[in-house]
Chains A and B, each alone.
Chain A
Amino acid sequence: MHNQLRFIIAAAALLAANAALAQDAKVGSLVGDVHQGQQVYRRYCIGCHGARGDGLGDNAPWVDPKPRDFTSATFKCRSTPTGTLPTDEDLFNTIGRGLHATAMPSWGALTKQQRINLVAYIKSFSPRFKEEKAGDPIPIPAESPATAESVHRGAELFQKMNCWSCHGKQGHGNGPSSVGLTDSKGFPITPYDFTSTSQFKCGEGSHDLYRAFMTGLDGTPMPSFADSLEPSAAWDLVHYVQTFGTSKGRVKPVPAGTIRASAPENRPSPADSKDKAKAGGGSEQQ
């Protein structure tokens, strides 16, 4: 009788463990299912990310930047500190938002259940998700006012922190260090061109940009500035970077020319008015 009881308890524990494995992604009330996620992955993702999630799908040779290798569990867009695993919500949001300036489109047309199922399946590619917990999301303090002074301080930080060396003095992504950059897998990578769009890689809001500064984009040369930037300074930098793009009301209007013209190091160079590809990396080495 005791043996039977033990057997029943063991079987129940096994079933519970299986259920836990099969539902190892959660966002709000949504619970992801690995097996369902596999079907969704096969339908939508396999062409680029590959059957093994290693980013070596059939289309990968023609995709630039290269598809994410899920087996390394290294993700650009996180709310968690650099080097840590993303939260389920981070992955869920990335799938829904897509990654601007890459071949990864927004999958917002999928149902939320499909997306959380995908998160569950994507996590199954790396043992890290079984061995480690996701990092704690970094705190994001309330945004300081986007005043002209804040933008000016941000311009100085952009210079001081050497952001320009990769992203270019005008934010075109063509700074002197932009040549020869590679990602963590050795593939060539170019710094983001802030002037090309109102969107950024990990979201278009001020908070998304702040988060990217503080978490870094893991797997790329973009480091985390969490240890070197005070929150107020990070907001200043956000406000300055937002002046580069074709922003649509994200930042309060700044009188044209007053900020960038007042920073001598930010005077437009002839190369900045040319095609980015032609300007290359060395064009801004004045």
Chain B
Amino acid sequence: MQIPVLKRAVAALFVAVVVSLASRPAMAIPAFARKYGLPCSACHEAWPKLNNFGQTFRDNGYQLGNDRDAPIYQNPSYFPSTVRITPQWHMENSGRTAVDAVPGNASSGLVESRNIRSSGFDLSGFDLWTAGTVSKNISFLVLPSADATAAFHFESFWVRFDNLLGTHWLNLKVGKHELDLPVSEKRELTLSNDGANYQVYHFAPGNPLLPLGNGQVNGFGLGNNQLGLELSGHSHNSYTRYAFSLVSNTDGQPNLPSSSGYDFYAHLSQAVELPHMGLQRFGVLGFRGVVPTYFQTANGAVISGSGAGDRSFYRAGAYGIWYLGKFDLSTVFMHGQDSAFLATGTPSTQVLPAGGRSATWNGGFAELHYNPNPQLVLVGRYELIRMAQQGFPLGTLLTNNHPLFARFGNIDNYVLGYRWYPIMISRGGLAWHQEYSWLRSLGTAPLSGLNVAGSSYMMGFDVAF
């Protein structure tokens, strides 16, 4: 008789705990909440994704425009630091991978495994960042980031001169920075191996004539932080925004490892408020870059920074971010082109292979969020990339003796997940994250030339302090 009562009591306690956690007010993010005393949900639709107020705050150089912007107004002990890491359990499936026929025997020849599965507890990378203002209208960000083995690199490091000439329309950033993308990849709500990156921000056609069909001359990714300058501006409420970046063609890598070329990026956007729907934003973007097609060598070894024979590529896109009450939908379309030399992996000192031409493709994604309250967000995304023109003539035999076909390299990606934020206090936040993603590319199996599909599943705690 006592057991049912106990069960009911435990159940009631569980419900009470869940309800009390679920109804806790969303509170501040670590670094800036301590400075401004605002709830984290003020700047984030669901952290780390910014809402328009957060975007305006960021556009203002991490300033609200009140008396708390300059560090002189802060308690001397205040230091704007944040750490973030995601302990997790995840499972990875990799389809059609080339493996040795006899494990451990490299001379046994390659065969194609149907699937390789791995799973277990793991760590994410680790971010240790500080950001804020060193003075009124001079802001900064320093972000040393480590992989799961604690090997650090500078993910981002910049200084920004805000409101030059007293206007929101002139801000100059110098250093390694995230390009002002339509949907920030650094603030996305998906974390799994196959779902953490937007494919269209990183896609470049692999050279199908290189071994395993995965060779890639142009490793550029729009989603990678770049080294250079950014001139940006915005209206008072950031409804109208622009950004131009001039960056070295190193794809964000320090020590000048590439040639001496420069890349350009531009992004323009406008938001309008529709009655009873919310803020709708649309815009256009473009990136034009160059990549060296060969390097000077010494005894066959590449001399870093000696790249030459630059050839161009570009990315162009248009997008809309649509709000309807508690739903928002991000729709991004991108078009890309790599020059024939990049697409075929040919040094500019050599003649292009017969029929060699530029590679072009189209892609995009639609990402839907449902945000019933500041502490819960559901995420769904579909992304695709479709080759419009291969760099080599169709029918060219690949290294696996399969003919190149028009859809070779096309990508489809589905992501589904949710984040629940049971704890958001002024010193830190904790999100429970679950996500499944599935990724397929056409015809890229190294031996059989079949489609390759993989998937990721993860669940874990995203911790920010």
Minimal Cβ-Cβ distance residue in A for B271: A111
- In this complex, how many residues of chain B approach chain A with their Cβ under 8 Å: the count is 33
Query: Looking at the complex, which one of A46, A47, A102, A110 makes contact with B52 (CB distance below 8 Å)?
Result: A110
CB neighbors of A among B24-78 (8 A): 25-28, 33, 36-39, 41-42, 52-53, 55-57, 64-68
- A-B CB contact pairs (8 Å), 25 listed: A43-B26, A43-B41, A43-B42, A44-B41, A46-B26, A47-B25, A47-B42, A48-B37, A51-B25, A58-B27, A58-B425, A59-B426, A62-B37, A98-B66, A100-B66, A101-B66, A102-B66, A105-B38, A105-B66, A106-B64, A108-B56, A109-B53, A112-B273, A113-B273, A113-B278
Residues in B whose Cβ lies below 8 Å from that of A98: 65-66
Residues in B whose Cβ lies below 8 Å from that of A62: 37
9 further A-B contacts with Cβ under 8 Å, apart from A43-B39, A105-B36, A109-B53, are A42-B374, A44-B41, A48-B37, A59-B28, A108-B237, A109-B55, A111-B279, A112-B273, A113-B278
B300 at the interface (CB under 8 A from A): no
Q: Are B26 and A42 in contact (CB under 8 A)?
A: yes
Interface size range of chain A in the complex:
20 to 34
Residues in B whose Cβ lies below 8 Å from that of A106: 64-65
Minimal Cβ-Cβ distance residue in B for A60: B37
CB neighbors of B among A81-114 (8 A): 98, 100-114
B275 at the interface (CB under 8 A from A): yes
Q: Are A47 and B39 in contact (CB under 8 A)?
A: yes
Chain B nearest CB, measured from A86 CB (Å):
21
Residues in A whose Cβ lies below 8 Å from that of B114: none
Q: Are B38 and A109 in contact (CB under 8 A)?
A: no
Chain B nearest CB, measured from A97 CB (Å):
10
A184 at the interface (CB under 8 A from B): no
B238 at the interface (CB under 8 A from A): yes
Chain A nearest CB, measured from B463 CB (Å):
20
- Best-surrounded residue of A48, A100, A110 (most CB of chain B within 10 A): A110
Mask: chain A, 100-143; 1 = CB below 8 Å from B; 0 = not: 11111111111111100000000000000000000000000000
Minimal Cβ-Cβ distance residue in B for A108: B237
CB neighbors of B among A206-261 (8 A): none
Minimal Cβ-Cβ distance residue in A for B40: A47
A262 at the interface (CB under 8 A from B): no
9 interchain residue pairs of minimum CB distance: A59-B37, A109-B56, A105-B64, A47-B39, A109-B53, A43-B41, A111-B273, A109-B237, A46-B25
Minimal Cβ-Cβ distance residue in B for A103: B37
B236 at the interface (CB under 8 A from A): yes
Q: In the complex the two chains form, what is the Cα distance from A221 to B129 in whole Å?
A: 43
B276 at the interface (CB under 8 A from A): yes
Please judge, given known A-B contacts A44-B53, A46-B39, whether A58 and B238 are in contact too, CB under 8 Å: no
Query: Looking at the complex, which one of A44, A101, A112, A113 makes contact with B42 (CB distance below 8 Å)?
Result: A44
Residues in A whose Cβ lies below 8 Å from that of B236: 108
B346 at the interface (CB under 8 A from A): no
Q: In the complex the two chains form, what is the Cα distance from A222 to B244 in whole Å?
A: 48
Query: Looking at the complex, which one of B26, B27, B36, B57 makes contact with A103 (CB distance below 8 Å)?
Result: B36
B373 at the interface (CB under 8 A from A): yes
B residues near A (Cβ < 8 Å) are: 25-28, 33, 36-39, 41-42, 52-53, 55-57, 64-68, 236-238, 273, 275-276, 278-279, 373-374, 425-426
Q: In the complex the two chains form, what is the Cα distance from A46 to B42 in whole Å?
A: 10
Q: Are B53 and A47 in contact (CB under 8 A)?
A: no
Residues in B whose Cβ lies below 8 Å from that of A162: none
Residues in B whose Cβ lies below 8 Å from that of A107: 53
Q: In the complex the two chains form, what is the Cα distance from A107 to B57 in whole Å?
A: 10
Residues in A whose Cβ lies below 8 Å from that of B273: 111-113
A residues near B (Cβ < 8 Å) are: 39, 42-48, 51, 58-59, 62-63, 98, 100-114
- Best-surrounded residue of B238, B279, B425 (most CB of chain A within 10 A): B279
Minimal Cβ-Cβ distance residue in A for B275: A113
- Best-surrounded residue of A45, A109, A114 (most CB of chain B within 10 A): A109
Minimal Cβ-Cβ distance residue in B for A33: B276
Chain B nearest CB, measured from A194 CB (Å):
15
Chain B nearest CB, measured from A43 CB (Å):
4
Please judge, given known A-B contacts A58-B426, A59-B37, A101-B67, whether A111 and B278 are in contact too, CB under 8 Å: yes
Q: In the complex the two chains form, what is the Cα distance from A100 to B69 in whole Å?
A: 12
Minimal Cβ-Cβ distance residue in A for B28: A47
Residues in B whose Cβ lies below 8 Å from that of A44: 38-39, 41-42, 53
Please judge, given known A-B contacts A39-B373, A113-B276, whether A47 and B66 are in contact too, CB under 8 Å: no
Minimal Cβ-Cβ distance residue in A for B59: A109
Residues in B whose Cβ lies below 8 Å from that of A101: 66-67
Residues in A whose Cβ lies below 8 Å from that of B55: 109
- Best-surrounded residue of B66, B238, B373, B426 (most CB of chain A within 10 A): B66
Please judge, given known A-B contacts A102-B66, A105-B64, whether A63 and B37 are in contact too, CB under 8 Å: yes
Residues in A whose Cβ lies below 8 Å from that of B278: 111, 113-114
Residues in B whose Cβ lies below 8 Å from that of A105: 36, 38, 64-66
Chain B nearest CB, measured from A167 CB (Å):
18
Minimal Cβ-Cβ distance residue in A for B45: A43
Q: Are A104 and B53 in contact (CB under 8 A)?
A: no
Query: Looking at the complex, which one of A42, A59, A63, A100 makes contact with B373 (CB distance below 8 Å)?
Result: A42
Residues in A whose Cβ lies below 8 Å from that of B65: 98, 105-106
Minimal Cβ-Cβ distance residue in A for B64: A105
Chain B nearest CB, measured from A158 CB (Å):
24
Q: Are B374 and A47 in contact (CB under 8 A)?
A: no
Minimal Cβ-Cβ distance residue in B for A44: B42
Q: In the complex the two chains form, what is the Cα distance from A105 to B25 in whole Å?
A: 20
Minimal Cβ-Cβ distance residue in B for A99: B66
Q: In the complex the two chains form, what is the Cα distance from A114 to B237 in whole Å?
A: 14
Minimal Cβ-Cβ distance residue in A for B325: A36
Minimal Cβ-Cβ distance residue in B for A199: B65
Minimal Cβ-Cβ distance residue in A for B44: A43
Q: In the complex the two chains form, what is the Cα distance from A270 to B371 in whole Å?
A: 58
Q: Are B238 and A47 in contact (CB under 8 A)?
A: no
